[in-house]
Amino acid sequence: MFKFFFPYLKILFYVVNIVLITLYIFPGSILGWLIYDNAGLQPQITSDFIVSSNHVYAFTVLSFLGYISYEKLKLNLLFIYLFSISIFLEILHFIIPNRGFEFSDLFGNIFGVLIVYFFYRLYNRFYN
C-alpha cells in the first residue's frame, strides 16, 4: 500500500524522531518560546487527563510513522526502540535544566507507543 512512499515515510520518521528528541532535550520549551516568546510556557493541545495529552499525541504520531515505514521483520525492534526512547527521554529531564520529570509525561509517552503497538498486534492477528 505504501510501497511508493516507503523511502519518504522513513525519512519523515527520522525527521520527526530528531525533532521530538530536540524538543525533549531543550532546556525549556522551544514551542513556548516560538509561540509565546517565553520558554517557560508549554503550549497545550488539549487538557490533560491522567496522562499528558501532548506526550500521547507526539509518541502516537512517531510510533505510527515508524509502523508504516518499516517492514514487518523489523517492527519488533522498532517498538523496543520506541518504548526505550519514550522512557529515556523523560528520565533525561532529571538532569536537563529548566525541565522536570513527571510521571504523567512518562505514562503519556508509553501510552502513545502502546496505542500503535496494540493496533499492530490486532492487525497482525486478523490480517496475517
The C-alpha cell at 66 is: 515508524
DSSP-H helix ranges across the chain: 6-25, 30-36, 53-69, 75-91, 103-127
Q: pTM for this one?
A: 0.87
Continuous segment of H or E residues that includes residue 39 = none
86 in any annotated domain? yes
Q: pLDDT tens for residues 51-101? A: 989 999 999 999 999 998 888 788 999 999 999 999 999 999 999 988 889
Confidence (pLDDT) at 117: 95
Residue 2 has pLDDT above 60, yes or no: no
Q: Please provide the average confidence, as pLDDT, over all residues in the chain.
A: 88
Terminal Cα distance for the chain, rounded = 15
Neighbours of 43 (CB within 10 A): 11
- Within a domain: residue 90? yes
Query: Would you say 16 and 61 are in contact if contact means Cβ atoms under 8 Å apart?
Result: yes
Does a structural domain hold residue 84? yes
d(CA 60, CA 14): 15
Is 104 within a domain? Answer: yes
- What residue numbers bound the domain in which 39 lies? 6-127
* Residue 101 in domain: yes
Domains in the chain, number: 1
Residue 53 domain-assigned?
yes
Candidates 113, 111, 93, 112; CA nearest to 102 is 93
| In-domain check, residue 1 | no
**62, part of any domain:** yes
